[in-house]
Amino acid sequence: MRAMGLEAGESSSFLSLSSAFSYGVASMAMVFVNKAVIMQYVHSMTLLTLQQLATALFIHFGQVLGMSKRKDLSIATAKKLLPVSIFYNANVAFALASLKGVNIPMYIAIKRLTPLAVLVSGFLRGKGKPSTQVSLSVVCTALGVLVAALGDFSFDLYGYSMALISVFFQTMYLILVEKSGADDGLSSMELMFYNSILSIPFLFFIIVATGEFPHSLSVLSEKTASASFSVILLISLVMGIVLNYTMFWCTIVNSALTTTIVGVLKGVGSTTLGFVVLGGVKVHALNVTGLVINTFGGVWYSYAKYTQKKKLPRRVAPDEESHPHK
């Protein structure tokens, strides 16, 4: 019995590590892929609509071909997941909009404010005051963003505003995903499918109402004449599916907190690459200093939460910090 328990524990640990690592790699790659597409094709909402359509079709045909299984669609479940879909699309839409005016290192730095938003949200929901180390690390991260912004040659108020709004929606989205997956016993694939199906009508309404459609499709048709753009667009659509899956997977298997920490840690590599990839960034001492402070704060936060979680006694009942995968 003990051996079986050890095997189950090792399997669970491997699953947790695999989901976290997969999300980290997919998330880091997606930032650069989306930036590459947005640099050539500014219609971000149409891009998001295409990514959701590709996800829905992929899952549907996967089921038809017997490659994947999912429960039949439920109206009650769809109603419950509607807020998840709204927050998801708002997060990605504002993130894509911010990439039009914000360089990748600064984008990553601003998105590192998500832990601050998660902590504030937890405090408002009565989860209590965070530890001193967690509080200081979050302050360090926020301070780094302010210092880096002062030295940002390409400062763009619109881009910064879009990124900050994205942080808020990402926080709400992660909390809702974790709760939905735990309460309803939905798999990552099922959450993805519901999210895509609920998103498409909402996104289509937006691109029509804003006048982006159908002009965006004619521009897309012209752009796809270029083989290089077509390849980048295809990678973007595939990575949209991969990122969605790994984010749901990591959040359900681990927690919203773990997904946030992974997002912070992968930003270290993204920030470094962002200085030289896709046109690079004009370097200023103040900007670099701020990014270093921000990165240090992010790593410190991750370490503080990891050590804090290890000290907690194991509980059978699921909660928002840690729960088993159903």
Q: How far apart are CA 18 and CA 319, in angstroms?
A: 21
Burial (CB < 10 A; 0-12, 13-18, 19+), residue 60, is middle
Nearest to 294 by CA among 92, 151, 123, 120: 151
Residue labelled with tokens 């790699």: 25
Q: What is the pLDDT along the chain (326 residues), one digit of tens a residue?
A: 444 444 445 567 778 888 888 988 898 888 889 889 988 998 989 998 998 999 999 888 888 887 767 777 888 888 888 998 899 889 988 998 898 888 888 888 888 788 788 778 877 777 777 788 888 888 898 898 888 888 877 788 899 999 999 999 988 887 787 676 555 677 778 888 888 999 999 899 889 988 898 899 999 999 999 999 999 999 999 998 898 888 888 888 877 777 777 877 777 677 777 766 755 567 678 878 888 888 888 888 878 877 777 776 554 333 333 333 33
pLDDT at 7: 47
Residue 59's Cβ-side half-sphere holds a number of Cα atoms within 13 Å equal to 26
Calculate the alpha carbon distances from 290 to 106, 143, 154, 159, 270 in Å: 10, 8, 15, 18, 15
pLDDT at 322: 35
SS3 142: helix
Q: Beta-carbon neighbour count of residue 135 at 10 Å?
A: 15
Q: How far apart are CA 15 and CA 21, in angstroms?
A: 10
Burial (CB < 10 A; 0-12, 13-18, 19+), residue 62, is middle
pLDDT at 146: 85
- The pTM of the full predicted model, rounded to 2 decimals, is 0.70
Run of H or E residues at 27: helix 2-38
Vertex 118: Cα angle to 199 and 257 (nearest 5): 85
pLDDT at 320: 38
pLDDT at 180: 66
Measure the CA dihedral 269/146/258/296, to 10°: 60
